[in-house]
Amino acid sequence: MKSLLEFNGVTKRFGDFTLREVSFSVPPGYIVGLVGPNGAGKTTLMRLALGLIRADGGVVRLLGEDPAASRAAAAARARVGFVHDTPACYDYLSVERVAGIVAPFYPTWDSARFSRLLAGFGVPPKAKLRSLSRGTKMKFALALALSHRAEILLLDEPTGGLDPVFRDRLLDLLSDVIGDARTSVLFSTQLVTDLERIADFIVIIREGRVMFSGPKDDILDRWAVVRGGPELATELAAASRWGVATTRQGVEALLEDVEEARRLFSGKALVEKATLEDAFLLCREPSGKGD
């Protein structure tokens, strides 16, 4: 299975921030959720994927091409739909005028589909972008990204500013988009609930480092969260590769094998199957012990 997007040992330094040895891939026909707190490096990865910035080290491949390279990368971008975290651009122009600017760049642009999406999303085509709310601008950006039959969608926090009803609808739409088994989505978010519904793979990133990358079901089916008193801190720290977090009630840690966790901690601590929320909160550097 050839990946549509691949990061292999990618590093990038910006002042105090460093993206460190990031590796993961986006296979065709799947939704990959990129989740991490603010400043974790999600937008940096999206920009690397689009070739807006160059990696200091490692390899980025978008549809088989180096996105920061030349003509071939530009041609590859015709097969990519993207939504930036700040979707507003040319805000003094109307929705249809901006679409008129963007459409000619894409040979596969589907005007009828764009009109249908605008109508379905409730975006008024004659309205100027600056008169739209952030959520409606995001809907417009999504309509642009979805109207040229892209093979991969790079969506940087697309649910930001969206109301829960539309967010729900968008998630359904994305599930439909990958239904052809050739389109993929890389979807960054801070909302784990979004990923619970639609993601096939999860990448958890924190402070520029990938903490976990793999199938969502690995987390939901196999991982455990163990919660106990502070006296278990040392034992939990030895068992968990992520270290131990301190809470008001005691300590908690993430273990990668729920059966093993039960064997080790049943009777001494509460052992439960991990949720994505648990994974997001507890996947961290082991140096975070005692946080």
Partner 1 sequence: MRHLLAKDVRLVAPYLWMVVPVHALYSIQAFLNPELYFWMNLAAALAWTVAVTAIEWHLDADHFVAGLPVTRAAIVSARYVSAIGGLALGAALFVLYGHATAAVATERAAAHWQGAPSWATVDGVAAFLSIGFVAVAAFLPFFFRWGLPIGAALFSASAAVALSVGTAVARTLSGTTAAGEVLAGITGSLSWSEAVRGWLLALSASWGPWVAAPMVLAGAAVLGAASLRLSIRFYESRDL
Q: Which residues bind partner 1 (CB under 8 A)?
A: 47, 50-54, 70-71, 73-78, 80, 82, 84, 86, 88-93, 97, 100-102, 104-106
Question: What is the SS3 assignment for 270?
Answer: strand
CA 21 – CA 142 distance, rounded (Å):
30
Of 105 and 238, which CB lies nearer to partner 1 in the complex structure? 105
Task: Work out the burial of residue 287: count CB atoms within 10 Å of its CB; fewer than 13 is exposed, 13-18 middle, 19 or more buried.
Answer: exposed
Of 72 and 238, which CB lies nearer to partner 1 in the complex structure? 72
CA 22 – CA 57 distance, rounded (Å):
10
Rg (CA), the chain: 21
Name the minimum Å distance from CB 88 to partner 1: 7
Instruction: Transcribe 4-34 into DSSP letters.
Output: SEEEEEEEEEETTEEEEEEEEEE-TT-EEEE
Task: Work out the burial of residue 164: count CB atoms within 10 Å of its CB; fewer than 13 is exposed, 13-18 middle, 19 or more buried.
Answer: exposed
CA 58 – CA 22 distance, rounded (Å):
8
Of 111 and 234, which CB lies nearer to partner 1 in the complex structure? 111
CA 202 – CA 219 distance, rounded (Å):
9
Of 80 and 274, which CB lies nearer to partner 1 in the complex structure? 80
As given in the structure block, the two tokens for residue 147 are: 């109207």
* Cβ neighbours of 112 (radius 10 Å): 8
Of 93 and 191, which CB lies nearer to partner 1 in the complex structure? 93
Name the minimum Å distance from CB 105 to partner 1: 5
Name the minimum Å distance from CB 20 to partner 1: 18
Name the minimum Å distance from CB 154 to partner 1: 9
Of 35 and 154, which CB lies nearer to partner 1 in the complex structure? 154
Q: Measuring CA to CA, how many Å separate 247 from each of 69, 268, 272?
A: 47, 17, 16
CA 25 – CA 158 distance, rounded (Å):
20
Name the minimum Å distance from CB 50 to partner 1: 5
Of 45 and 232, which CB lies nearer to partner 1 in the complex structure? 45
Name the minimum Å distance from CB 146 to partner 1: 15
Name the minimum Å distance from CB 48 to partner 1: 10
Of 47 and 167, which CB lies nearer to partner 1 in the complex structure? 47
Name the minimum Å distance from CB 109 to partner 1: 11
Task: Write the CB contacts of 100 (distance below 8 Å, at least 6 apart in sequence).
Answer: none
